[in-house]
Chain A
Amino acid sequence: MVSLYAAAKKIYPRSVEGIFAYWRWIFVFATQIVFYGLPWLEWGTRQAVLFDLASRRFYIFGLVLYPQDFIYLTGLLVVSALALFLFTAVAGRLWCGFACPQTVYSEIFLWIERKVEGDRSARIRLDDADFSLEKLVKKWYKHTIWIFFSIWTGFTFVGYFTPIRELAMEFFLTNMSSWELFWVFFYAFATYGNAGFMREQVCKYMCPYARFQSAMFDHDTLIVTYDTERGEPRGPRSKKVELATSNLGACVDCTLCVQVCPTGIDIRNGLQYECIGCGACADVCDTVMDKMGYARGLVRFSTQNAMTNKWSSREMWQRLMRPRIQIYTMILSAIVIGLLVSLSLRTPFKVDVVRDRSTLSRITEYGTLENVYRLQIMNAAEHLQTYRILVRGLPQLKITTETEVMVDPAQARWIVLRADIPYGSADPGSHKIQFEIQALGSDHFVVEKSVFIVPR
């Protein structure tokens, strides 16, 4: 009889070398160099990538985005989702095993742990040992490095939202604002907790992507597979035993594949929901096979169809471009192209027209009928820009206020505008009109709809 709640058993992944471990480190470096380095880049006189929430401007290199550009974020999320669909359909939980921050930070934290406490067996010994000065020093040393690394991570994260150079000054002068302080330490705490302690528990019990990725697998999806037919019956043997003449399979039952697994499963039991597809077991098994002088690939990326039908790898790869993958690829590339085209053709300003509601319309002493509008011109370019405002939609409709206005770089400005027609030149009622706003010195323009009201 057991309880409904089980104490989590700590997993001590053994270090591993090989092609997949190599690629994982490539991804660790690629993602982290970008993450830690990006906020320090300068673009002209400002930070190259800065999400200024207070003034609601989002700077990404040459782009200045307004909250009204939310559609691009939506596009980015759609692209991310479709990319996840595509990669998962091709090769399972590639994202989980190689690029997910949870994996990447766990990998970094494990590396630190290994440098301080040693590899798997040394760590198990240390944890089992009674309290000693050595244990205290090692643990203290490890946690200190972890905490420093976490704070640096939290600091970098906040550096995307508040200029990082100023933040660094504030940090060292210890006069950060309370919200900056909160987010630096909250993000640091999350990093420390998730990468130092929670690790595979996040993937197993918390992550929703882990669960719904299983729904994208099919029989031609590459997954980490143990070749049962080749491996069984497993068992230890002397190096001198000839594989062909013995009644044993290729698996020497060294359990290294279990020891290196970051989620603590035995891949020889087949595909399990905990498997993050990192390929550590495949790497370590290859080293064992090399030592034994056996062929590599007892544990390898293969598909269910290839396994059951005993396909050659050529046959397996031929199934790669199945319709599902083609459709994903097509939709993904269409959206990526659409997003890029729309970004490059983007008009670098926006206009909102708000009709004055209090003053429906007025008759002036010059015998004209006047309507009042407020225009908000949002300049998304980083230079002072002059705009020319035109109006059309009614005969003799003209703007009586200034038609050329200047807006500061990356600023929005409200402009009060009057338009009039000669009295009696239009029927009573509401007439559709359009404002055309041109950015002088470029061929960009925006057309906004509004109405002109003639009283009864």
Chain B
Amino acid sequence: MSDFTSNFWSVFVAAISIIGILYCAFLLWFSAKVKVAASHDTEDGTTGHVWDEDLREMNNPLPRWWLWLFIITMVFAVVYGLAYPGLGSYAGKLGWTSTGQYDAEVAKANQELEPLYASFNAQTPEQLAGDPKAMAVGERLFMNNCAQCHGSDARGSKGFPNLTDGDWLHGGTSDKIKETITKGRIGQMPPMAAAVGSPDDIRNVSHYVLSLSGSPHDSVRASLGKPKFGACAACHGADGKGMQALGSANLTDKVWLHGWGEEAITAMINNGKVNQMPAQEGRLTESQIHVLTAYVWGFSNKPAAK
């Protein structure tokens, strides 16, 4: 009941419930006591009540066991009100909460899955990638937790890396993949316009970058841009192949995470980019991350023989 700043509504709701039950009890007691004219008491065989000029009420008594149904519902209401959180903010004797039930169900499911995950944990991700059972679990985990950004086929999209191409910003060994999933990653490309030089220099560097991967480019601009690439080499390396320790991109392949072409590269040099992979630690268990590691590793590798 944290939604309410005052206690009023809690008391209000509880009062309505309690008064409702008490009123039902009174009504029942009253209707069980009251006597009406029997059919043989009146001339026309009705209770003698007349409404709206000519509507007469027959006396068709309810069966007595019906009374018990009413009593049972009232007893149920009282027991429920005491046991469960039904009366305003009163938590109930059983201490039941919907989150508690959810947690209990999750704990139960985890307990049931423990032997399965234990057998997964006993294997390396490289072995696990060849285990169809583990991969079925991995697929479901991936679909529920990773596919939102990386796509159902794990091929990513603009800004979200393709996990199947064997090109890794932060390293593609199973250890590195696990680290990425567990701790997340922040990829940072600082705005480099000032360091590179004039807008024309930046265009030249863009063409030089395009030339590194053999993409269509202006070779005159590229050769003019080459000396200016020094500002980039600190992270991307003199050869432009990037450094996985820094998470800097390899500029010599045809993987363009943030867009291809002069325009996209110029924009990147001018504005930089911060790209984040959120940490899954705390959201997923270690065993789940282990299975996911194997699943992701398996996209670009052949599983090891057991």
Contacts and interface: CB of A to CB of B under 8 A. Distances in A.
Interface of A: 1-8, 201, 205, 356, 358-363, 365, 370, 372-374, 401, 414, 416, 418
B147 A4 contact: no
Contacts of A359: 151, 155-157, 160
A6 B63 contact: yes
Interface in B133-184: 143, 147-153, 155-158, 160
Contacts of B63: 5-8, 201, 205
A374 B157 CA distance: 16
A423 to B, nearest CB: 11
Nearest to B35: A1
Contacts of A5: 31-32, 61-64, 66-67
B157 to A, nearest CB: 4
B153 A372 contact: yes
Interface string B78-122: 000000000000000000000000000000000000000000000
B41 interface: yes
A1 B62 contact: no
B36 interface: yes
B32 A3 contact: yes
Contacts of B37: 1-2
Contacts of B151: 356, 358-359, 372
A2 B64 CA distance: 12
B65 interface: yes
Contact of B66 (A2, A205, A361, A374): A205
A421 to B, nearest CB: 16
A205 B153 contact: no
Interface string B199-233: 00000000000000000000000000000000000
A-B pairs with the 9 shortest C-beta distances?
A6-B61, A359-B157, A1-B35, A359-B151, A2-B38, A365-B254, A416-B153, A8-B63, A5-B64
28 contacts: A1-B35, A1-B36, A2-B35, A2-B36, A2-B59, A3-B35, A4-B31, A4-B34, A4-B61, A5-B63, A6-B62, A6-B63, A201-B63, A205-B62, A205-B66, A356-B151, A358-B147, A358-B149, A358-B157, A359-B157, A359-B160, A362-B155, A362-B157, A362-B158, A363-B260, A372-B151, A374-B152, A418-B155
B132 to A, nearest CB: 13
B21 interface: no
A149 B135 CA distance: 49
B152 A372 contact: yes
Given A2-B38, A356-B151, A358-B149, A8 B64 contact: yes
Given A4-B34, A374-B152, 16 more contacts: A1-B35, A1-B37, A2-B36, A3-B34, A4-B61, A5-B31, A6-B61, A6-B63, A8-B63, A201-B63, A358-B160, A359-B156, A362-B157, A372-B155, A416-B152, A416-B153
Contacts of A362: 155-158
Interface of B: 31-32, 34-38, 41, 59, 61-67, 143, 147-153, 155-158, 160, 254-255, 260
A356 B151 CA distance: 7
Nearest to B213: A365
Contacts of B64: 5-8
A173 B120 CA distance: 34
A363 B31 CA distance: 77
A125 B147 CA distance: 77
B167 to A, nearest CB: 11
Given A2-B38, A5-B32, A365-B255, A356 B152 contact: yes
Given A6-B63, A363-B260, A401 B36 contact: no
Contacts of A360: 157
A2 B38 CA distance: 5
A374 B158 CA distance: 20
B83 to A, nearest CB: 19
B155 to A, nearest CB: 7
B226 to A, nearest CB: 24
Question: Which residue, of A359, A363, A373, A416, has the highest number of chain B Cβ atoms within 10 A?
Answer: A359
Nearest to A362: B157
A403 to B, nearest CB: 15
Contacts of B38: 1-2
A201 B62 CA distance: 11
A374 B255 CA distance: 24
A408 B202 CA distance: 57
A4 B32 contact: yes
B212 to A, nearest CB: 15
A359 B162 CA distance: 11
A370 B38 CA distance: 83
A419 to B, nearest CB: 11
Contacts of A414: 143
Contacts of A7: 63-64
A345 to B, nearest CB: 33
Contacts of B31: 4-5
A374 B160 CA distance: 19
Contacts of A373: 152
A35 to B, nearest CB: 28
B278 to A, nearest CB: 14
A4 B254 CA distance: 88
A418 B36 contact: no
A205 B67 CA distance: 13
A418 B114 CA distance: 35
Contacts of B65: 8, 201
Nearest to A365: B254
Contacts of B260: 363
A385 B151 CA distance: 27
A99 to B, nearest CB: 25
Nearest to A373: B152
A1 B255 CA distance: 94
B24 to A, nearest CB: 15
Contacts of A372: 151-153, 155
B157 A4 contact: no
A401 B155 CA distance: 12
B157 A3 contact: no
Question: Which residue, of B35, B61, B254, B255, has the highest number of chain A Cβ atoms within 10 A?
Answer: B61
Nearest to A360: B157
Given A6-B61, A8-B64, A1 B153 contact: no
A2 B61 contact: yes
Contacts of A6: 61-64
A401 B62 contact: no
B176 to A, nearest CB: 23
A296 B152 CA distance: 78
A4 B148 contact: no
